[in-house]
Amino acid sequence: WKADSSTSSPTGGSISTVSLPLKRQQPGVCGLDNSGNSCYLNAVLQCLCSTVPLVEHLLHQGTRKQLARHKCQVAEVFVRLLEEMWLGRSSRCTPAEARSAVCSIHPQFNNYSQQDAQELLLFLLNALHDDLKRCSYYPICTVNPPSFLSDRNRKCPAAEGEPTVVSHLFEGQLSYRTLCTHCSHQAHSTQSFTVLSLPIPKDTTKCSLQDCLSLFFQASTLTGGDQMLCSVCGVRRNTTILTALDKPPEILMLHLKRFGCKGKKNMKLKTNVLFSMENLDLTPFLSSPSAQHTSYCLYAVVNHTGQLDMGHYTALCRNALTRSWYCFDDSVVSEVQDCLVQSSNAYILLYSRGAFNRPKISGL
C-alpha cells in the first residue's frame, strides 16, 4: 500500500487568525512545539490526531500490546504522541520523537528545511501501514469496525497487500477506461489512491471544489508522443482516457495543487477554492451508480500561507468531543468560528463519511 506524490516544497513563515479564547484544555486539543521549521509536520500530526477511527484503533490496548511486541518504531512513537494529546494534561507537547522516527526512515526530512506537508502525510501513513502489517492480530475498537476485522482475535498474516486500519480508512480506488479513437477498442484498469491531487482552474481568483474535482475527472486525449499502443490496431493511436471513482474511501483526502510552474518560474496559486463543510457529494464522479454513502463531512484542513519560498503551515481541526473547530498554529491553539474554516489558504482537505462520534478511548 503506497501512494505517489510529487509537489514543490514551500518554506517557513507566520500566520494570524481571528479566534475565540480557548476556555479550557480538552482531550485531543493540544499544541505542538516547533523544533525548527517543523510546522509542516505539526499540521499533519494534528489532522491525524483528529481522525477518530484511527485514534481509537491505535490507542486500543490490544493494538498497543501488538505494536510493542513487534517493535514497530513509527507506530509506537505515534501512539505515545496520541496518548499525550488525548489523555495527557498539558496544553502542549513536543513531537521530537515522532520527527526522529520519520527522519530515520526518510532522511530527506532530517534537516531544518521546510518540507511539503502532503509528501510528509503520505510518508507517515505508509510507515504506519507498514508497521501495522507486522502485527498478527487486530483489535476491534470502533462502533463500525473495518470489514477485515471479524472478531477480536482474527489473525491477519503480515504479507504484502494485507489490509490495516490505515488502508481501510484512507485507501480508495480509481478506474481508467482507455478508448482508441481509431477503432474504438476499450481497455480498463484500476489504481489505488490515498490522496487525490486536484488541479485548480487557471486564470481565476475564485472557484469551487466541485470545479477542481470536475477538472480532475474530465476526459483527456493523448496525442503525439503520448499516444498509446492499441492492442487491436497494433500501432500507437490517439487515446481518450476516462477517469472515474470506483471505490470512495472512508477518509477522503484532497490535495489542492497550489505549487507549480509558469514557464520557468515557480509559483503558488492563491485561488480561493470554495469547499463544502458538509454534504460534499462524489456521486457525479462514480464509475457506476452505487448505494454507498458518498456524501462527506469536512473535519480537518491543512493551510499554507505565504509564497512558495516563504510560507507557514497551520491546521484547522474539528474536535469530536466539543464539536468545535480549533486552529493549531504549532504550540498556539485557539477555538475558531465555523465561518473562518473557509479560506484561500486551504492546501489539504480531509473529509469523513459522516461526522465522527465521541471517541471510544479507554481513560477518556
List residues with catalytic annotation: 39, 312
Contact 260, 267 (CB under 8 A): yes
Rounded Cα distance, 38 and 291, in Å: 42
Look up residue 150 and give its three cell numbers: 471479524
Look up residue 181 and give its three cell numbers: 479513437
Rounded Cα distance, 79 and 356, in Å: 20
Which residue in the block uniquely carries the three cell numbers 464522479?
A: 285
Q: What is the separation, in whole angstroms, between the first and last Cα of the chain?
A: 32
Select from 350, 341, 243, 304 the least CA-distant residue to 7.
304
In DSSP terms, which residues pair with 176 in a beta bridge?
Answer: 189, 243
